[in-house]
Structure 1
Amino acid sequence: MSTIRFQALREASSRKPVHFEESGRKSALFGTNVFNEKAMKQYLTSDAFKAVQSAIQHGTKIDRKLADYIAMGMKEWALYKGVTHYTHWFQPLTGATAEKHDAFFETSFDGSDPVEKFGGAQLVQQEPDASSFPNGGIRNTFEARGYTAWDPTSPAFIFGTTLCIPTVFISYTGEALDNKIPLLRALSAIDEAATEVCKYFDKNVKKVTATLGWEQEYFLIDKALAESRPDIMMTGRTLLGHTSAKGQQLDDHYFGAIPTRALVYMRDLEQECMLLGIPVKTRHNEVAPNQFEFAPIFEETNLAVDHNCLLMDVMQKVAERHYFKVLLHEKPFKGVNGSGKHNNWSLATDTGINLLSPSKTPMTNLQFLTFFINTIKAVNDYESLLRSSIATASNDHRLGANEAPPAIISVFIGQQLTKVLDELKEVTKGKLSPEEKTDLKLNVVGKIPEVILDNTDRNRTSPFAFTGNKFEFRAVGSSANCSNAMTTLNTMVAKQLKDFKIEVDSLIDAKAMKKDDAIFNVLREYIKKLKKILFEGDGYSQAWEEEAAKRGLSNFKTTPEALKARISKQAMELFSEMGIMNQIELEARYEIELEEYAKKIQIEGRVLGDIATNHVIPTAIRYQNTLIENVKGLKDIFGAEFESIAKEQIILIKTISKHIEGINSKVGEMTEERKSANGLKDAQLIAEAYCEKVKPYFDVIREHCDKLELLVDNELWTLTKYRELLLTK
Structure 2
Amino acid sequence: MKVNEIFGSHVFNDAVMKERLPKNTYKSLKKSMELGEALEPSVAEVVANAMKDWAIELGATHFTHWFQPMTGKTGEKHDAFISVSPDGKAIMEFSGKELIKGEPDASSFPNGGLRATFEARGYTAWDCTSPAFLKEDTAGVTLCIPTAFCSYTGEALDKKTPLLRSMEAIHNQAMRILKLFGNTTSKRVLTTVGAEQEYFLVDKKFYQLRKDLIFTGRTLFGALPPKGQEMEDHYFGSIKERIAKFMKEIDIELWKLGVSAKTKHNEVAPAQHELAPIFSTTNIATDHNQLVMETLQKVATRHDLVCLLHEKPFAGVNGSGKHNNWSLSTDDGINLLDPGTTPHENAQFLVFLASVIAAVDEYAPLLRLSAANAGNDHRLGANEAPPAIISIFLGEQLTDIIEQIQEDRLATSKQAEELKLGVTTMPNLPKDVTDRNRTSPFAFTGNKFEFRMVPSSGSIAGPNIVLNTIVADVLSRVADELENADDFNGAVTALVKKLISDHKKVVFNGDGYSDAWVEEAEKRGLPNIKSTVDALEYFAKPESIEMFERHCVFTKGEIVSRQEIMYEEYAKIINIEALTMIEMAKKEILPSVIDYITSLADSINTIKAATSSVTVKVQEKLIEKLSNLLELAYDKLEALESEVVKAKELEEIEEQAIAFRNKVFVAMEELRIPCDELEKLSSEEYWPFPSYTDLLFRV
- Any idea what SS the aligned residue of 2:324 has? strand
Is residue 416–residue 431 contact of structure 2 (8 Å, CA) maintained in 1?
no
Aligned amino acid, residue 476 of structure 2: K
1:449 Cα shift?
6.8
Specify whether residues 418 and 114 from structure 1 end up closer, same or farther in structure 2 by C-alpha distance, changes over 3 A only: same
1:400 Cα shift?
4.4
1:29 Cα shift?
1.5
Aligned amino acid, residue 81 of structure 1: L
Q: Distance in 2 between matches of 1:105 and 1:417?
A: 60
Match of 2:533? 560
Is residue 83–residue 91 contact of structure 2 (8 Å, CA) maintained in 1?
yes
1:351 Cα shift?
2.6
Match of 1:616 among 589, 597, 601: 589
Match of 1:376 among 357, 360, 364: 357
- Is 1:32 matched up with 2:9? yes
Match of 1:601? 574
TM-score after normalising by structure 2? 0.95
Q: Distance in 2 between matches of 1:266 and 1:630?
A: 49
Specify whether residues 362 and 567 from structure 1 end up closer, same or farther in structure 2 by C-alpha distance, changes over 3 A only: closer
**What does the per-residue CA deviation read over 1:627-647, in whole Å, with 9 as the maximum and x for residues that have no partner?**
1112222333455x77xx222
1:402 Cα shift?
5.7
Q: Distance in 2 between matches of 1:47 and 1:676?
A: 65
Is residue 228–residue 269 contact of structure 2 (8 Å, CA) maintained in 1?
yes
**What does the per-residue CA deviation read over 1:290-348, in whole Å, with 9 as the maximum and x for residues that have no partner?**
11100011100000000000111111111111111000000000111110101000001
Match of 1:175 among 146, 155, 162: 155
Is residue 390–residue 477 contact of structure 1 (8 Å, CA) maintained in 2?
yes
**What does the per-residue CA deviation read over 1:244-274, in whole Å, with 9 as the maximum and x for residues that have no partner?**
1011110001001111111111110100111
- Any idea what SS the aligned residue of 2:687 has? coil
Match of 1:476? 454
Match of 2:481 among 503, 508, 521: 503
Match of 1:490 among 450, 468, 471: 468
Match of 1:528? 501
Is residue 365–residue 448 contact of structure 1 (8 Å, CA) maintained in 2?
no
Aligned amino acid, residue 605 of structure 1: A
My pick for the range that moved more, 155-164 or 630-639, is: 630-639
Match of 2:48 among 66, 71, 82: 71
Match of 1:112? 88
Match of 2:369 among 381, 388, 392: 388
Q: Distance in 2 between matches of 1:253 and 1:113?
A: 59
Match of 1:50? 27
Is residue 381–residue 531 contact of structure 2 (8 Å, CA) maintained in 1?
no
Unaligned runs of 5+ in 2: 419-429
My pick for the range that moved more, 196-205 or 385-394, is: 196-205
Specify whether residues 363 and 628 from structure 1 end up closer, same or farther in structure 2 by C-alpha distance, changes over 3 A only: closer
1:408 Cα shift?
0.8
My pick for the range that moved more, 455-464 or 234-243, is: 455-464
- Any idea what SS the aligned residue of 1:660 has? helix
**What does the per-residue CA deviation read over 1:669-727, in whole Å, with 9 as the maximum and x for residues that have no partner?**
21121111111111110000000110111222111111111111111222101111111
1:74 Cα shift?
0.4
Aligned amino acid, residue 604 of structure 2: V
Match of 1:89 among 22, 43, 66: 66
- Any idea what SS the aligned residue of 1:148 has? strand
My pick for the range that moved more, 522-531 or 375-384, is: 522-531
- Is 1:158 matched up with 2:131? no
Specify whether residues 453 and 115 from structure 1 end up closer, same or farther in structure 2 by C-alpha distance, changes over 3 A only: farther
Aligned amino acid, residue 681 of structure 1: E
Q: Distance in 2 between matches of 1:453 and 1:386?
A: 32
1:535 Cα shift?
1.2
Specify whether residues 325 and 491 from structure 1 end up closer, same or farther in structure 2 by C-alpha distance, changes over 3 A only: same
Specify whether residues 648 and 604 from structure 1 end up closer, same or farther in structure 2 by C-alpha distance, changes over 3 A only: same
Specify whether residues 385 and 402 from structure 1 end up closer, same or farther in structure 2 by C-alpha distance, changes over 3 A only: closer
Q: Distance in 2 between matches of 1:455 and 1:240?
A: 45
- Is 1:274 matched up with 2:250? no
- Is 1:185 matched up with 2:155? no
Match of 1:351 among 313, 321, 332: 332
Match of 2:187? 206
Specify whether residues 679 and 403 from structure 1 end up closer, same or farther in structure 2 by C-alpha distance, changes over 3 A only: closer
TM-score after normalising by structure 1? 0.91
Q: Distance in 2 between matches of 1:357 and 1:715?
A: 60
My pick for the range that moved more, 356-365 or 80-89, is: 356-365
Match of 1:692? 662
**What does the per-residue CA deviation read over 1:422-481, in whole Å, with 9 as the maximum and x for residues that have no partner?**
111111xxxxxxxxxxxx75x34x667799982222222111111111101000011110
- Any idea what SS the aligned residue of 1:373 has? helix
- Any idea what SS the aligned residue of 2:628 has? helix
Q: Distance in 2 between matches of 1:95 and 1:525?
A: 39
Q: Distance in 2 between matches of 1:364 and 1:274?
A: 41
Aligned amino acid, residue 372 of structure 2: A
- Any idea what SS the aligned residue of 1:454 has? coil
Q: Distance in 2 between matches of 1:325 and 1:152?
A: 34
Q: Distance in 2 between matches of 1:224 and 1:38?
A: 44
Specify whether residues 215 and 636 from structure 1 end up closer, same or farther in structure 2 by C-alpha distance, changes over 3 A only: same
- Is 1:62 matched up with 2:39? yes
Identical positions, percent: 47
Match of 2:439? 461
Q: Distance in 2 between matches of 1:555 and 1:361?
A: 35
- Is 1:101 matched up with 2:78? yes
Is residue 400–residue 540 contact of structure 1 (8 Å, CA) maintained in 2?
no
Is residue 339–residue 346 contact of structure 2 (8 Å, CA) maintained in 1?
yes
1:403 Cα shift?
4.2
Match of 1:337? 318
Q: Distance in 2 between matches of 1:589 and 1:414?
A: 36
Aligned amino acid, residue 103 of structure 2: E
Q: Distance in 1 between matches of 2:496 and 2:15?
A: 44
Q: Distance in 1 between matches of 2:356 and 2:687?
A: 53
State how 1:107-146 maps to structure 2 within 5 Å.
107-108=84-85, 112-146=88-122
Match of 2:423? none
**What does the per-residue CA deviation read over 1:466-500, in whole Å, with 9 as the maximum and x for residues that have no partner?**
11111010000111100000000000001111111
RMSD: 1.7
Is residue 61–residue 142 contact of structure 2 (8 Å, CA) maintained in 1?
yes
Is residue 453–residue 468 contact of structure 1 (8 Å, CA) maintained in 2?
no
Match of 1:435? none
Q: Distance in 2 between matches of 1:453 and 1:590?
A: 45
Aligned amino acid, residue 631 of structure 2: E
Specify whether residues 665 and 369 from structure 1 end up closer, same or farther in structure 2 by C-alpha distance, changes over 3 A only: same
Q: Distance in 2 between matches of 1:361 and 1:203?
A: 23
- Is 1:231 matched up with 2:212? yes
Specify whether residues 361 and 621 from structure 1 end up closer, same or farther in structure 2 by C-alpha distance, changes over 3 A only: closer
Specify whether residues 264 and 364 from structure 1 end up closer, same or farther in structure 2 by C-alpha distance, changes over 3 A only: farther
Aligned amino acid, residue 99 of structure 2: L
Structure 1 runs (4+) deviating above 3 angstroms are 360-364, 400-403, 446-453
My pick for the range that moved more, 280-289 or 191-200, is: 191-200
Q: Distance in 2 between matches of 1:662 and 1:98?
A: 45
Match of 1:17? none
Q: Distance in 2 between matches of 1:83 and 1:350?
A: 34
**What does the per-residue CA deviation read over 1:12-65, in whole Å, with 9 as the maximum and x for residues that have no partner?**
xxxxxxxxxxx22x1221111100011112222222212221111011111112
- Any idea what SS the aligned residue of 1:140 has? coil
- Is 1:706 matched up with 2:679? no
1:415 Cα shift?
2.3
Aligned amino acid, residue 366 of structure 2: L
Match of 1:431? none
Aligned amino acid, residue 125 of structure 1: K
